[in-house]
Amino acid sequence: MICAVADWQSMSVGAVRPGDRIRVRGQEFEVARIDSPFLGLEQMVCFIEDTPTRWHAYPASRDAEIEVRRG
């Protein structure tokens, strides 16, 4: 059986949800949670990856575009 993998799509940061895989500055990670508002700013979010081997955070403007893969 062949398993199809979804292609990368460009979408608004505000449309990203936990479980999505995002590509940022050459790095890919799965979003475990989204802190919003970030630093008390409604227009900012922070994507958090939290695995047993790595923790990563990426702040972004809510109206920016980002590469996302779902599925």
Over 70: is that where the pLDDT of 2 sits?
no
The residues near 38 (Cβ < 8 Å, ≥ 6 apart) are 44, 45, 46, 59
Look at residue 5 in the predicted model and tell me its pLDDT: 54
**pLDDT 10s digits, 6-46:** 689 999 999 999 999 999 888 899 999 999 999 999 999 99
For domain 13-69, give its CATH number from 2.30.30, 1.25.40, 3.30.70, 2.40.10: 2.30.30
The residues near 60 (Cβ < 8 Å, ≥ 6 apart) are 13, 24, 44, 45, 46, 47, 66
The structural domains of the chain, with segments of one domain joined by +, span 13-69
Question: Does the global pTM surpass 0.85?
Answer: no
**Mean pLDDT calculated for residue range 58-64:** 95
CA distances (Å), 52 to each of 32, 48, 67, 68, in order? Answer: 12, 13, 24, 22
